[in-house]
């Protein structure tokens, strides 16, 4: 049997129709039909029942389809491995993202990946920090951006940049926080991210160290939602320092001056996968992207100083 016959088998099973399968495979309908017939003759069992509305798997076809998928997948792995041996990295990698694309420099990262490794497909998935770590550890993500210090034997981390957060409240609440102490700020209504997030941990540690617990009234699943709710007057929250200061200048929020929280943006992957070509290529892409960013900032500072 031929690999193209198995691909036709899988495509027809997925689409239930010869025409759509042929379009997917970029071949003619008679060619797909002939390949299915030849495969059935070689295997000695019918794979599909033919009807006026399409094709459905026979009991025999249903049992053989998973094996066909495994053979097709093994062939793809073989091809990917062969390409990596001659210097081409071909893989599909799942990457967890946390913040806005500009903060993570995703545009620059993707452009660099297309230029350097055109066969490396990056699948971006928005995550909460704690969940991102667990998914990298358990293999559901190949790598992820991550906020906070991380020391874990199963995970390797590349430090990218320090990050700072500020306590913000709706602009109309400016008078309420003027001269306020920690107890007063903790007693305000708060918009918080889920407990599994580093954003939540930052706020909790900030107040617990002073014997206080912020009063959470709304839980939002990401930082952009927190920002929107604070601006809308729902409650206090944490906002990345650059965004907080911009929002304050725009008259959208008020920044409480007595607190500044620091953390670190990192890029993590499973330590045991460090030697894999796709992971090594991905880490190098991220490192180069962020090295260019630091070089650009340094050059801009020199021009300003001059």
pLDDT digit string (tens) for the chain, length 306 residues: 899 999 999 999 988 989 888 988 889 999 999 999 999 999 999 999 998 888 999 999 999 999 998 898 888 778 767 766 666 787 899 999 987 788 899 999 999 999 888 888 999 998 877 788 888 988 889 999 998 877 778 899 999 999 899 999 999 999 989 888 888 888 889 888 777 777 777 777 777 877 887 777 777 667 788 889 999 999 998 888 988 999 999 999 999 998 888 889 999 999 988 888 899 999 999 999 998 765 444 433 443 344
Reading the block at residue 53, the tokens are 């509305």
Quote the CA–CA distance of 113 and 238 in Å, as a whole number.
33
What's residue 221's pLDDT?
Answer: 63
- Domain range list for the chain: 3-85, 91-161+266-305, 163-263
Cα(19)–Cα(193) distance, integer angstroms: 48
Collect contacts of 58-62 with beta carbons under 8 A, ≥24 apart: 61/9, 61/13
pLDDT digits (tens, 9 = 90+) for 25-78: 889 999 999 999 999 999 999 999 998 888 999 999 999 999 998 898 888 778
Residues 121, 224: contact at Cβ < 8 Å?
no
Are 279 and 142 in contact, with CB atoms under 8 Å apart? yes
pLDDT of residue 204: 78
Quote the CA–CA distance of 279 and 93 in Å, as a whole number: 8
CA distance 268 to 145: 6
Q: How far is CA 243 from CA 26, 114, 115, 228, 238, in A?
A: 48, 30, 31, 12, 10
pLDDT for the residue numbered 210: 77
Q: Say yes or no: do domains 3-85 and 163-263 share a fold.
A: no
- Predicted local confidence at residue 281, as pLDDT: 92
Q: Thinking of the domain 163-263, which architecture would CATH place it in?
A: 3-Layer(aba) Sandwich (3.40)
Output b/e per residue, 188-206; b: 16+ Cβ within 10 A.
bbbbbbeebbbbbbbbbeb
Q: What is the pLDDT of residue 231?
A: 93
Q: Note the pLDDT of residue 85.
A: 66
- Residue 103: Cβ-neighbour burial (10 angstroms; 0-12, 13-18, 19+): middle
Q: Does residue 38 contact residue 68 with C-beta atoms inside 8 Å? A: no
Question: Of the CATH numbers 3.40.190.10, 2.40.128.20, 3.40.50.2000, 3.40.50.720, which one belongs to the domain with range 91-161+266-305?
Answer: 3.40.190.10
Q: What is the DSSP string of the chain?
A: --HHHHHHHHHHHHHSSHHHHHHHHTS-HHHHHHHHHHHHHHHTS--EEEETTEEEE-HHHHHHHHHHHHHHHHHHHHHHHHHHHTT---EEEEEEE-S-HHHHTHHHHHHHHHHH-TTEEEEEEE--HHHHHHHHHHTSSSEEEEES----TTEEEEEEEEEEEEEEEEGGGHHHHTT--HHHHHTSEEEE--TTSHHHHHHHHHHHTTT---EEEEE-SSHHHHHHHHHTTS-BEEEEHHHHHHHHHTTSEEEEEEEEEEEEEEEEEEGGGTTSHHHHHHHHHHHHHHHHHHHHHHHHHHHHH-
Look up the CATH number of domain 3-85: 1.10.10.10
Q: How far apart are CA 89 and CA 280, in angstroms?
A: 10
């Amino acid at each position: 049997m031929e690999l193209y016959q198995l691909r036709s088998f899988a495509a027809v099973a997925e689409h239930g129709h010869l025409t759509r399968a042929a379009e997917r495979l970029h071949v003619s309908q008679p060619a797909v039909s002939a390949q299915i017939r030849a495969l059935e003759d070689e295997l000695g069992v019918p794979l599909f029942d033919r009807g006026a509305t399409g094709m459905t798997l026979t009991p025999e076809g249903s049992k053989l389809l998973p094996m066909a998928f495994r053979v097709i997948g093994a062939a793809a792995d073989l091809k990917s491995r062969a390409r990596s041996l001659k210097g081409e990295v071909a893989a599909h990698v799942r990457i967890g993202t946390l913040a806005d694309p500009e903060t993570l420099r995703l545009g620059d990262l993707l452009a660099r990946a297309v230029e350097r490794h055109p066969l490396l497909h990056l699948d971006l998935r928005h995550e909460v920090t704690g969940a991102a770590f667990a998914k990298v550890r358990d293999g559901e993500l190949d790598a992820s951006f991550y906020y906070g210090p991380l020391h874990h034997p199963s995970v390797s981390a590349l430090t990218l940049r320090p990050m700072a957060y500020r306590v913000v409240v709706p602009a109309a609440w400016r008078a309420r926080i003027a001269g306020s102490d920690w107890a007063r700020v903790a007693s305000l209504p708060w918009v918080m991210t889920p407990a599994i997030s580093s954003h939540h941990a930052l706020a909790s540690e900030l107040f617990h160290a002073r014997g206080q617990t912020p009063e959470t009234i709304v839980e939002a699943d990401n930082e952009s939602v927190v920002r929107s709710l604070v601006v809308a007057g729902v409650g206090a929250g944490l906002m990345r320092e650059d965004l907080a200061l911009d929002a304050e200048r725009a008259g959208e929020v008020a920044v409480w001056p007595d607190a500044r929280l620091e953390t670190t943006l990192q890029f993590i992957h499973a330590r045991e996968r460090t030697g894999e070509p796709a992971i090594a290529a991905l880490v190098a892409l991220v490192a180069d992207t962020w090295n260019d960013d630091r070089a650009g900032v340094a050059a801009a500072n020199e021009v300003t100083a001059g």
